[in-house]
A and B are shown apart, each in its own frame.
Chain A
Amino acid sequence: MDNRLLKTMVQLLLPFIQLYGVFIILHGHITPGGGFSGGAILGASLILYGLTFGHQETEAIFPEKVSAWAESGGAMMYVLLGLFGLIFGASFLSNLTAGFAAGTPGQILSGGFIPLLMIAIGIKVGSTLMTLFSALIEGEPS
Chain B
Amino acid sequence: MIPFSWLELFPVLQMSLLVLMALAGPLIPSKGVVKGMHLVGLTLLTISAFIVLNYTHTSGPFAFQMGGYERNIGIELLIDSFSAFFAFFVLFFVTLIHLFSMTSLNLDTPASQHTAYYSLLSLMYFSMIGILYSNDLFNMYVFIEILSLSACGIISVSRKKQNYMAAFRYLMMNTLASISVMFGIALIYMLTGSLNVSIMAERLVELYPMYPVNVSLSLGFIGVGLAIKSAIFPFHVWLPDAHSSANTSASAILSGVIIKIYLLTLIKLLYRLFTLDVVIDLRIPVVMVVLAGVAMLMGSAFALGQKEIKRMLAYSTVSQVGYILLGFSIFTWGGLVAAFFYIVSHAFVKGLLFLTAGMAKSIHGIKSIKATEGIGYKIPLTMMLFTVGAMGMVGIPGTSGFMAKLQLSLAFMEVSRGYLRSFLIISGVINALYFFPIIMNSFFQEDNKEVFKLEKIPFAMGFTLLMFVGIIFALGLFPGLLLPYLEAAAMSLMGS
- A interface residue numbers (CB < 8 A to B): 68-69, 71-72, 75-76, 79, 82-83, 85-86, 89-95, 97, 142
What are 5 A-B contacts defined by CB distance under 8 Å? A93-B66, A94-B67, A97-B1, A142-B112, A142-B116
- B interface residue numbers (CB < 8 A to A): 1, 9, 12-13, 16, 19-20, 23-24, 26-27, 64-68, 112, 116
Give CA–CA (A48, B267) in the complex, Å.
Answer: 49
User: A76–B67 contact, CB under 8 A?
Assistant: no
Tell me how far the C-beta of B355 lies from the nearest C-beta in chain A, rounded to whole angstroms.
Answer: 28
Give CA–CA (A71, B116) in the complex, Å.
Answer: 14
- Give A83's nearest chain B residue, CB to CB: B16
Tell me how far the C-beta of A130 lies from the nearest C-beta in chain B, rounded to whole angstroms.
Answer: 15
Give CA–CA (A95, B66) in the complex, Å.
Answer: 11
User: B116–A79 contact, CB under 8 A?
Assistant: no
Chain B contact surface mostly: helix
> What residues on A are CB-neighbors of B16 within 8 Å?
79, 82-83, 92
Given contacts A79-B20, A82-B16, A97-B1, contact A72 B26 (CB under 8 A): yes
- Give A92's nearest chain B residue, CB to CB: B12
Given contacts A82-B16, A83-B16, A95-B67, contact A89 B23 (CB under 8 A): no
User: A92–B66 contact, CB under 8 A?
Assistant: yes
- Give A89's nearest chain B residue, CB to CB: B1
> What residues on A are CB-neighbors of B65 within 8 Å?
91
Identify A68's interface contact among B19, B27, B112, CB under 8 A. B27
User: B68–A76 contact, CB under 8 A?
Assistant: no
Given contacts A75-B19, A79-B20, contact A90 B27 (CB under 8 A): no
Give CA–CA (A92, B112) in the complex, Å.
Answer: 35
Q: A91-B68, A94-B68 are in contact. List 16 more A-B contacts (CB 8 A).
A: A68-B27, A69-B27, A71-B26, A72-B27, A76-B20, A76-B23, A79-B16, A79-B19, A79-B20, A83-B13, A85-B67, A86-B12, A90-B68, A92-B64, A93-B67, A94-B67
> What residues on B are CB-neighbors of A89 within 8 Å?
1
- Give B68's nearest chain A residue, CB to CB: A91
Tell me how far the C-beta of B308 lies from the nearest C-beta in chain A, rounded to whole angstroms.
Answer: 29
